[in-house]
Amino acid sequence: MRIGILTSGGDAPGMNAAIRAVVRTALHTRHSVFGIRLGYNGLIAGDIAPLDHAGVANIIQRGGTILGTARSEEFLTGAGMKKAARTMIEYQLDALVVIGGEGTMRGADEFSRRYPVRLVGLPATIDNDLYGTDFTIGFDTAVNNALEAIDRIRDTASSLERIFFIEVMGRTAGYIGLTVGLASGAEEVLIPETPTDLKKLSRSIQHNIDKGKKTNIVIVAEGDEAGNALEIAKKVKKLTGEDFRVAVLGYIQRGGAPSARDRVLASKLGYDAVHALRRGISGCLAGEVNGKTVYTKFRETYRRKKKIDRRLYKTLKTLAD
C-alpha cells in the first residue's frame, strides 16, 4: 500500500508520536508512507512528500505536529473533496490515516462515503470528547499542563486569601475541567455537562470563607452555559461582595512535550491503524476502550455523545466540602 497521513484541526500533544508509529509500522510491513501537510488543505493542494525512518526520528517527544494542521472549509464542499480524490489518484495513495478530533472524523466520514477511500482515524484532541475511545491523544498532557499551572496559582490564592476563577479549555465538553478539578483539589468545577447555579455557587464560596478556608479555586470550562470565567466571577462578586482574580490558561494546555501516557497511546493506536488497513478494516476510528483497541464507525464518533464520569463529579464535591 501507499498510505497518506495527515493531522487536522487543533493540535494535540502526541500527534507526532502517532505519526512516527504509523510511518515506522508501515515501513516495517513494507508499505510506503506519504506525509500530507496542513491537514485536508494539503490533500486538496497536493502538498505531499514521502516519509521515511529518518523523517520521523526524534519527534516522539515533541509537541505539536511536524506535518502542520489546519481546519479546512474547502474540504467540506463537494468541489474540495473532488480535488482531494484527484490528489489521491495522482499520488497513487491507496489509504489514508487521519489524526484529529470530531471535525476531522466528520470530514473523513463524508469523504469515505463519497469516494472509495480506505480510511482509518486516530483520536487526537485535548478535549477527550470523541466517542469510541476512553482517552484521546493529548488529553493527559493537557490535564497535566493545566494542573501544574493551578498548583502554582493555589500558592498565590492562599497568600492573598482570594477567590480564583481559572478557565480551562472545553467548549462543549468538561473532561479537562472535571479531571483537573479533582486532581487539584478545587472547591468548585463548572462544566457544560452540569447546570450552573450561580446563587448556589456563591453560597458555597461564602460558606467556605466563613469556616476559615483560605483558598477558593473555581475551575470553569470555557463552554459553561453561565459564561466564561470573568463573566461568572463578576456575577459571583455581586452576590458575595468578595474580591476575585481570574486566570485563563488558554493555549498553554496544548503545548509542550506529550506525557508518557499520551506517547504510549499514540504509539499503540498508530501501530494498530496500519494493521487495520492491512486487514481491510476502514471507515472507522481506532480507539482504546478498557485497554483494548476497538474500531468505531466514523459517524458514531461524533453522533453519539461521550458521557462524563459522574462518579468523578460526586467525588470532587464530597472532597471539596
Q: What is the pLDDT of residues 302-311, one digit of tens each?
A: 999 999 888 9
CB 269 within 8 A of CB 293: yes
Give dist(CA 156, CA 161) in Å, integer. Answer: 8
Is 140-254 the same fold as 2-138+258-303? yes
Residues 6+ apart with CB under 8 A from 102: 9, 125, 129, 130, 301, 302
Task: Give percent above pLDDT 90 in the chain.
Answer: 92
Write down the pLDDT at residue 212.
Answer: 87
CATH (residue range 2-138+258-303):
3.40.50.450
- Work out the average pLDDT over 196-212: 93
Write down the pLDDT at residue 240.
Answer: 93
pLDDT at 120 over 90: yes
CATH (residue range 140-254):
3.40.50.460
Q: Is 127 a catalytic residue?
A: yes
**pLDDT-based confidence at 99, cuts 50/70/90?**
very high
Write down the pLDDT at residue 110.
Answer: 96
The label of the residue with cell 513494507 reads: 30
Catalytic choice (11, 109, 127, 140): 127
Reduced 3-state DSSP string for the chain = CEEEEEECCCCCCCHHHHHHHHHHHHHHCCCEEEEECCHHHHHHHCCEEEECCHHHCCCCCCCCCCCCCCCCCHHHCHHHHHHHHHHHHHCCCCEEEEEECHHHHHHHHHHHHHCCCEEEEEEECCCCCCCCCCCCECHHHHHHHHHHHHHHHHHHHHHHCCEEEEEECCCCCCHHHHHHHHHHCCCEEECCCCCCCHHHHHHHHHHHHHCCCCCEEEEEECCCCCCCHHHHHHHHHHHHCCCEEEEECHHHHCCCCCCHHHHHHHHHHHHHHHHHHHCCCCCEEEEEECCEEEEEEHHHHHHCCCCCCHHHHHHHHHHCC
Give dist(CA 13, CA 20) in Å, integer. Answer: 13
Domain boundaries, the chain: 2-138+258-303, 140-254
Average pLDDT value for the chain:
96
How many other C-beta atoms are found inside a 10 Å radius of the C-beta of residue 295?
17
- Work out the average pLDDT over 255-260: 96
**pLDDT-based confidence at 162, cuts 50/70/90?**
confident
pLDDT at 321 over 90: no
pLDDT at 160 over 90: no
Smallest Cα–Cα separation from 287: which of 306, 302, 272, 307? Answer: 272
Write down the pLDDT at residue 250.
Answer: 92
Q: What is the pLDDT of residues 45-85, one digit of tens each?
A: 999 999 999 999 999 999 999 999 999 999 999 999 999 99
Write down the pLDDT at residue 166.
Answer: 98
- Work out the average pLDDT over 113-127: 96
Beta strand pairing call for 284-289 and 95-100: unpaired
* CA–CA distances in Å: residue 88 to residues 50, 79, 97, 227, 278: 14, 15, 13, 44, 18
How many other C-beta atoms are found inside a 10 Å radius of the C-beta of residue 80?
19
* Cell digits of residue 240: 458575595
Write down the pLDDT at residue 314.
Answer: 92
Q: What is the pLDDT of residues 207-246, one digit of tens each?
A: 999 988 888 999 999 999 999 999 999 999 999 999 999 9
Question: What are the φ and ψ backbone dihedral angles of 313, each rounded to 5 degrees?
Answer: -65, -45
Write down the pLDDT at residue 320.
Answer: 85
